[in-house]
Structure 1
Amino acid sequence: MDVFTEGTSWFENNQDLLMQYAINIAAAIAILFVGMIVARVLASSVEKLMNARKLDSTISHFVGSMVKYIIIAFVIIAALSRIGIQTASFVAIIGAAGLAVGLALQGSLSNFAAGVLIIGFRPFKAGDFVEIAGTAGSVASVQIFTTVLKTPDNKQIVVPNGSVLGGNIVNYSTHPTRRIDLVVGVSYNADLAKTKAILREVCEADSRVLKDPDITIGVSELADSSVNLVVRPWVNSADYWGAYFDLNENIKVALDNAGIEIPFPQMDVHLDKVAS
C-alpha cells in the first residue's frame, strides 16, 4: 500500500475527529476575535461612564486599561480551553512562568504598582503642570506602566511610573496662585528708595498682579557688581508666564527711563608701579 493510499485511508477513518478539531479551532479563533472586540468596547464604555460622572480622566483611563487586559486574559484562557488544552494545568504553567517573568521584569511590576499608588493617592490629575523625574509638562494620562506628559513645546514625554514616585513631584497647578520670583541688579550708585518705588509701580500697573498677598521688594544681596533686589508679586497660576515675561521687560524699560543703571559683571584692576 503506497503512502497516498495510507493517507487517504487515515483521513477517512479520522474524518470526524479532524472535523471536530477544525470546529474547535474555528471556535477558538472566533472567541479571540469577539473577545478582543468586547474588551475594547467594554474598556471604552467604562471610560465614558467614568468621564460622564466627572471623574479624573487619569483614573478613567487607568481603570479602562485594567478592564481591557483582564478581559483579554480570560478570553485567551477560554480559547485555549476550547481547543482542548486543560486550563487548570495551563494556569499552573502560567503561574510558574509568571514567577520567572516577574523576577525578570521587576522594573515593569514596580511601575505597575507605582501606577496603582498614583491613582490611589492622586498627587496630580490630568491637565496639571508638573515636574517629575527631571522633566516638566502637562499630565496627558496615567497608564498602567507609564505617565504621559505633554511639554509646552508640544513634545510627548513618557515617564515610567516607578520614576514618578521615586523622586520629588512638583505640582504647579495644585494652588490657584503662584509667586513670581525676580532678581533685579542695580548699580551701587542707584537710589535704592527710588528703585524700590519704581519696581512697585511696575508691578502694580500690571492688572494680573494680585493685591493680596502684598508684593515683596527688598535687597537680597550686595553682589560683586550690583545691588540685587528681589521682586516677588503674586499672580493667578494661569497668568504666571505671561506676567513673568512682561514684568521683566517693563522693569528694564522703567529703570532705563529713570536713568537707573542695570550693571553688567565688571572688575576693577589696579596697577601698582614697583620701583626697580
Structure 2
Amino acid sequence: MDNAQLWIDEGIKLIAYYTPKVLAALVILIIGWYLIKKVLRVIDRVMEKREYDLSLRKFLHNLASWALKIFLIVTVVSTLGIETTSLAAVIAAAGLAIGLALQGSLSNFAGGVLIMVFKPYKIGDFIEAQGVKGTVKEIEIFTTKLNTFENRLAIVPNGQLANGNIINYSAEENLRLELVVGVGYGEKIDEVRATLQDIIQADERILADPAPQILVKELASSSVNFGVRMWTFRDNYWPLNFDLTEQVKKTFDAKGIEIPYPHQVEIHKQE
C-alpha cells in the first residue's frame, strides 16, 4: 500500500511538473504554426511583386517553410525541457557533410538563385558568357541553356555565370557598333574617310543621334586602321555588322582602295 501511494505521489508530481510545460509547448506550437503561414504568405507576395521566376519562388517557399518548421520544433522540444544541444550538433554535422559532398552543385544552385533574384539576363536575351554567345532558352536552378548561332544547345553552369563576366546585348534598346577597317599606308586618309562616310549615310539603320564617328584608330605595322563607330537599334546590331563589312569590301574594291593583308617573302640562296 505504501509503494502504491509512493507511485501515485510521484505521478502527481510529474503531472504537476510537466503539465505547464506541455501546455506552453502546445501554445507555442499553435501560435508558431499560425505565424509560419503568415510569414510564408508575405514571402510569396514579395516574390510575386518582384516577379521572381516561378521555379525559384516554389523552391524558396519550401526552403523557408522547412527552416521555420524545424526552428519551431526545436523551440517546442526545448520548452518541454528536453536537451537540444545534441540535436543541434547532429543537424549541423549533417549539413556540413551534405555541403562538402555537394560543393559544386551548391555553387551552381547559389548562382542560379542570384541570377533569378538580380536578373542580369532573362529568357529571350542574347548574351555572351564563358566563351559562348547565344539566346537564353531556359534559366534553371543549376544551369542556363543557350541557343547559339548554329542553333546548338549550350548548357552553362550557373555558378560560373554568377561569378564571371556577362555581356547582355539585349539589355539596352540602342547599341554602339564599331568596325575596324584597315587600309594601306599609300591611301589618302581624307578619301578613305569620305568613302566610309558615304557607306554610313546610305544605310538607314544607322542612327543620326548620336552621330557616327570615323577615327584613325591605329597606325599598325602594315595598315592604317580606322575605327567606324555608329549607333543602331539592338535588333539591327548583327545584320548591320555583317552587311557593313561586306559593303566596305565591295566599295573599296570598286574605288581601288587597298585593304592590306600579310605578305610572305621567300629568299632562296644559290650555292
- The match for 1:137 is 134
SS in 2 for 1:246: helix
Identical pairs, percent? 46
Q: CA deviation at 1:70?
A: 9.5
User: Given the alignment of the two structures, is residue 152 of structure 1 paired with residue 152 of structure 2, yes or no?
Assistant: no
Residues 157-176 of structure 1 aligned to structure 2 (within 5 Å): 157-176=154-173
Unmatched 5+ stretches in structure 1: 1-45, 72-91, 271-276
CA deviation vs aligned residue, 1:129-173 (integer Å, no higher than 9, x gap): 112223221122221222222212111122221111121121111
Question: What is the number of residues matched between the two proteins?
Answer: 207
**Amino acid of the structure 2 residue aligned with 1:63:** R
- The match for 2:56 is 62
Q: CA deviation at 1:69?
A: 9.3
What CA distance in whole angstroms lies between the structure 2 residues aligned with 1:120 and 1:114?
10
CA deviation vs aligned residue, 1:191-241 (integer Å, no higher than 9, x gap): 211110110110111111111111111111222222111111211111111
Q: CA deviation at 1:265?
A: 2.1
- The match for 1:258 is 255
Distance 1:193-1:253 versus aligned 2 partners, 3 A rule: same
- The match for 1:116 is 113
What CA distance in whole angstroms lies between the structure 1 residues aligned with 2:217 and 2:190?
14
Tell me if structure 2 keeps the 8 A contact 1:177–1:234: yes
- The match for 2:97 is 100
- The match for 2:185 is 188
Q: 2:244 aligns with which of 244, 247, 267?
A: 247
What CA distance in whole angstroms lies between the structure 2 residues aligned with 1:133 and 1:262?
33
Q: CA deviation at 1:93?
A: 8.2
SS in 2 for 1:180: strand
User: Given the alignment of the two structures, is residue 226 of structure 1 paired with residue 223 of structure 2, yes or no?
Assistant: yes
Q: CA deviation at 1:182?
A: 1.1
Distance 1:152-1:55 versus aligned 2 partners, 3 A rule: farther
Q: CA deviation at 1:54?
A: 11
What CA distance in whole angstroms lies between the structure 2 residues aligned with 1:258 and 1:188?
16
Unmatched 5+ stretches in structure 2: 1-43, 66-88
- The match for 1:179 is 176
User: Given the alignment of the two structures, is residue 205 of structure 1 paired with residue 215 of structure 2, yes or no?
Assistant: no
SS in 1 for 2:150: coil
RMSD in angstroms over aligned alpha carbons?
3.4
Q: CA deviation at 1:175?
A: 0.8
Tell me if structure 2 keeps the 8 A contact 1:130–1:173: yes
Distance 1:54-1:166 versus aligned 2 partners, 3 A rule: closer
Distance 1:54-1:104 versus aligned 2 partners, 3 A rule: closer
- Once the two structures are overlaid, the 10-residue window that deviates more, 196-205 or 173-182, is 173-182
Residues 37-52 of structure 1 aligned to structure 2 (within 5 Å): none
Residues 71-90 of structure 1 aligned to structure 2 (within 5 Å): none
- TM-score for both structures, normalised by structure 2: 0.65
**Amino acid of the structure 1 residue aligned with 2:54:** S
What CA distance in whole angstroms lies between the structure 2 residues aligned with 1:267 and 1:107?
50
- TM-score for both structures, normalised by structure 1: 0.64
**Amino acid of the structure 2 residue aligned with 1:103:** L
Distance 1:101-1:54 versus aligned 2 partners, 3 A rule: closer
- Once the two structures are overlaid, the 10-residue window that deviates more, 118-127 or 193-202, is 118-127
